[in-house]
């Protein structure tokens, strides 16, 4: 398995602002939020995992996995319900009969065991800050663990006035805490009461209240229908008194279209899901607003077909749009959830003990998404493409001009240009990707005008890169078991719901990131490698006259191929 070393991150000058669709630091450079959700809103009202590991160890683990940000959930009652807010950590766990968790916290985080709950929450934020992790405070719910009465304004536990009071209190508490860079006003509005009129009324008031109490934080607003619908903003934006501090958030998971991923053709379902995302929320990017996908995730055991297929599509979209995001979830296990003590969270990137990664290959898949492809502060004159493979999270590289193309870490990716005549050219050279023959590796060649060098995105997903091999057959880029990029017959284009097109899905991602560069070619030897000579044999050229202009304007190239045995 190829792993990506997590390089030292550039210094971020806080606080954060917005610049059109981008989130930027005070110096105007893009900050890509690559967050993970850390749950702290359930019945104990303490960040999960503190009975398993010291909070500093958890914070360092977050950094080691490549995340630069935590979306830390909290229940409104943490600051508005006097009887709960007055509890210490020990008392909260005692009231729930969680004595084993008390012992674990006493052993791993003794400094918080007798602190008030809000002080323990602040200690977690402080630990993250000490490890240079940004924090978004997410008001997940009002009453901890209650699934009813929390959905929309006017519900039993969702009175707008206490809600705005609680947001103001949290904004005030963390005013001056520099690593707290944003506040999500409310998670997943839902239920029969939801309506656009009340949404505008209360979201605008709450946004103003938070900004007044803490002008440094980004105000992050979610939509209706479980955080999936902001379509009403297409024609009427929110009316706020402040600027450059507003971002929106959306949730997108494998349950968005029930069992469609399992029962439908993946290209067709992916297109439908992407179209729906753009219609309901994605249009905000084109309007110049930052959009954070604040919850996505999958069963990391890898056994959920629905989740697996959804993630292949989702990762391609996140790469193409270069979205900010927050993964659900960090949590390996819960103190108590749904009445189960030590509930195992299969969507968690950590295992039950909070020590090991639950699924290291998944972390590899998202590692390329943890750095920006483009945005303010990156060189605008360096526009190119990277060829991204969503199933692996890797990009197309060349090891040598002589060897087939391979997948490798995207921080070492070549810079490609997808040109109007549909060639994929290695930037700064005359070399293009060729589909020569079915079942053979994709290689670089230089006669780029031939049809075997012309690539187009086909299928409903627009993720099959297709060309014609030398005999005119249609073919697609594919990846074999050794991560070699090969040319095979296109598969799963339509109809068949049992077919998995994942190995043939690629995204041409726009990038200006200077780390994606093509090393210089050794052009003196570039024309003598066996594959290129094999081209003439397959075309049944009986007589070969080696002329300098066939290879270059340099006669020195001719002596490098002397006879057919060199082929």
User: By the 8 A CB rule, do 178 and 212 touch?
Assistant: no
Look at residue 39 in the predicted model and tell me its pLDDT.
98
Rounded-to-10 torsion of CA 330, 333, 335, 337: 100
**Residue-level pLDDT, tens digit, the chain, 567 residues:** 333 334 456 689 999 999 999 999 999 999 999 999 999 999 999 999 999 999 999 999 999 999 999 999 999 999 999 999 899 999 999 999 999 999 999 999 999 999 999 999 999 999 999 999 999 999 999 999 766 789 999 999 999 999 999 999 999 999 999 999 999 999 999 999 999 999 999 999 999 999 999 999 999 999 999 999 999 999 999 999 999 999 999 999 887 666 788 889 999 999 999 999 999 999 999 999 999 999 999 999 999 999 999 999 999 999 999 999 999 999 999 999 999 999 999 999 999 999 999 999 999 999 999 999 999 999 888 899 999 999 999 999 988 777 899 999 999 898 999 999 999 999 989 999 999 899 999 999 988 999 999 999 999 999 999 999 988 889 999 999 999 999 999 999 987 888 999 999 999 999 998 655 455 554 433 443 444 444 433 333 333 333 333 343 333 333 333 333 333
CA dist 105 and 53 (Å) reads 8
CA dist 254 and 300 (Å) reads 13
Rounded-to-10 torsion of CA 195, 197, 201, 202: 0
Question: In this structure, is the dihedral angle defined by the CA atoms of residues 449, 451, 455 and 456, taken in order, positive or negative?
Answer: positive
Nearest to 60 by CA among 137, 130, 123: 130
C-alpha to C-alpha distances, 495 to 284, 456, 506, nearest whole angstrom: 32, 21, 20
Q: How many CB atoms lie under 10 A from the CB of residue 113?
A: 18
Residues 6+ apart with CB under 8 A from 136: 33, 35, 69, 70, 71, 72, 180, 181, 182, 183, 184, 218, 220, 294, 326
CA dist 289 and 34 (Å) reads 17
CA dist 150 and 77 (Å) reads 12
481 exposure class (CB count in 10 Å sphere: 0-12, 13-18, 19+): exposed
pTM above 0.85, yes or no: yes
Phi, psi of 319 (to 5 degrees): -65, -45
Residues 6+ apart with CB under 8 A from 119: 112
Look at residue 380 in the predicted model and tell me its pLDDT.
82
CA dist 549 and 536 (Å) reads 15
CA angle 368, 374, 380 (to 5 degrees): 145
Look at residue 539 in the predicted model and tell me its pLDDT.
37
Nearest to 529 by CA among 404, 406, 407: 404
Look at residue 558 in the predicted model and tell me its pLDDT.
33
Q: What share of the chain is helix, strand, coil (3-state, %, to 5)?
A: 30, 20, 50
CA dist 491 and 501 (Å) reads 6
CA dist 216 and 360 (Å) reads 35
CA dist 225 and 437 (Å) reads 49
Residue 83: HSE in the Cβ half-sphere, 13 Å Cα cutoff: 2
The length of the chain, given as a count of residues: 567
């Amino acid at each position: 398995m190829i792993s990506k070393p997590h390089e030292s991150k550039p210094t971020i000058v806080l606080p954060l602002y917005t610049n059109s669709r981008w989130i930027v630091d005070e110096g105007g450079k893009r900050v890509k939020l690559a967050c993970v959700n850390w749950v702290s809103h359930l019945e104990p009202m303490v960040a999960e995992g503190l009975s398993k590991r010291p909070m500093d160890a958890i914070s360092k683990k977050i950094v080691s996995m490549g995340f630069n940000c935590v979306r830390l959930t909290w229940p409104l009652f943490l600051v508005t319900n006097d009887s709960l807010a007055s509890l210490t950590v020990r008392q909260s766990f005692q009231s729930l009969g969680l004595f084993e968790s008390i012992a674990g916290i006493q052993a791993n985080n003794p400094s918080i065991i007798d602190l008030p709950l809000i002080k323990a929450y602040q200690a977690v934020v402080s630990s993250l800050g000490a490890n240079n992790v940004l924090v978004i405070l997410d008001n997940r719910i009002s009453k901890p663990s209650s699934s009813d009465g929390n959905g929309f304004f006017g519900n039993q536990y969702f009175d707008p006035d206490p809600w705005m009071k609680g947001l103001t209190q949290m904004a005030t508490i963390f005013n001056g805490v520099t690593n707290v860079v944003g506040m999500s006003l409310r998670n997943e509005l839902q239920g029969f009461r939801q309506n656009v009129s009340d949404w505008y009324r209360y979201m605008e008031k709450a946004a103003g209240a938070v900004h007044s109490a803490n002008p440094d934080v980004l105000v992050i607003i979610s939509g209706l229908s479980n955080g999936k619908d902001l379509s009403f903003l297409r024609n009427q934006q929110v009316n706020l008194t402040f600027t450059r501090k507003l971002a929106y958030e959306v949730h997108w998971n494998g349950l968005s279209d029930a069992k469609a991923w399992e029962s439908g053709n993946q290209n067709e379902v992916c297109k439908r899901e992407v179209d729906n995302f753009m219609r309901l929320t994605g249009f905000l990017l084109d309007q110049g607003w930052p959009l954070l996908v604040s919850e996505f995730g999958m069963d990391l055991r890898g056994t959920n077909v629905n989740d697996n297929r959804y993630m292949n599509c989702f990762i391609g979209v996140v790469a193409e749009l270069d979205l900010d995001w927050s993964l659900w979830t960090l949590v390996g296990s819960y103190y108590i959830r749904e009445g189960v003590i030590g509930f195992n969270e299969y969507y968690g990137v950590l295992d039950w003990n909070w020590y090991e990664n639950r699924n290291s290959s998944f972390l590899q898949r998202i590692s390329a998404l943890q750095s920006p492809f483009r945005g303010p502060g990156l060189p605008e004159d360096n526009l190119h493409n990277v060829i991204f493979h969503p199933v692996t999270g890797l990009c197309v590289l060349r090891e040598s001009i002589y060897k087939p193309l391979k997948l490798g870490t995207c921080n070492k990716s070549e810079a490609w240009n997808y040109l109007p005549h549909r060639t994929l050219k290695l930037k700064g050279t005359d070399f293009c990707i060729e589909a020569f023959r079915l079942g053979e590796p994709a290689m670089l060649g230089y006669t780029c005008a031939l049809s075997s060098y012309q690539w187009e995105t086909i299928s409903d997903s627009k993720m099959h890169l297709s060309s014609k091999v030398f005999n005119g057959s249609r073919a697609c880029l594919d990846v074999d078991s050794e991560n070699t990029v090969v040319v095979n017959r296109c598969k799963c284009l339509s109809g068949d719901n049992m077919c998995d097109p994942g190995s043939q899905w690629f995204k041409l991602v726009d990038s200006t990131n200077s780390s994606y560069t093509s090393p210089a070619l050794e052009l003196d030897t570039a024309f003598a490698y066996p594959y290129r000579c094999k081209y003439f044999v397959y075309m049944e050229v009986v007589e070969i006259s080696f002329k300098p202009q066939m290879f270059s304007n340099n006669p020195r190239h001719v002596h490098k191929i002397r006879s057919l045995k060199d082929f």
